Amino acid sequence: MSDLTLDRLLELEHRGWEALSSSRGGSFYGELMTPDAVMILVNGMVMDRPTIAHALNDSPPWSSYRLDDARLVPTSETSAALVYTATAHRDGQDEPFVALMSSHYRVLDGSPRLTLYQQTTITHGGS
């Protein structure tokens, strides 16, 4: 699991957020995702790799983002999940987007590849 470290997966997540902040998200995730990967978004949409590759370049870019409380969850010798809280802002929107993120990676052809990504919105504080 040498390439599935917290630092390596956080680097990939930051690269993804940077791509989303410069309208290159579809191109970036089109390469990073496995052929059968999906993204599950807070609005309930489940998007496969071809849909992501086509749609994300046209999404409004993020003007800023922050990733907090990241932790690595090993799932096998060749796979792991990265879980974190994201806070992101878009120009023209008053409220930030705040969600828990889970990105599952597996090593394919020697590199980490995204197999599953899920967003869970934070709507209220826990007790």
pLDDT tens, position by position, 112-127: 999 999 999 886 555 4
* CATH code for the domain of 41: 3.10.450.50
In a domain, 75, yes or no: yes
Q: Residue 34, Cα to own-chain centre: how many angstroms?
A: 13
DSSP code of residue 60: P
Per-residue pLDDT of 9-39, as tens digits, reads 999 999 999 999 999 999 999 999 999 999 9
pLDDT tens sequence across 45-55: 999 999 998 88
| Residue 126 falls inside a structural domain | no
Structural domain span for residue 75: 6-121
Structural domains of the chain, count: 1
What distance in Å separates the CA atoms of residue 94 and residue 97, rounded to the nearest whole number? 10
Q: With 0.85 as the threshold, say if the pTM is over it.
A: yes
Distance of CA 2 to the CA centre of its chain: 20
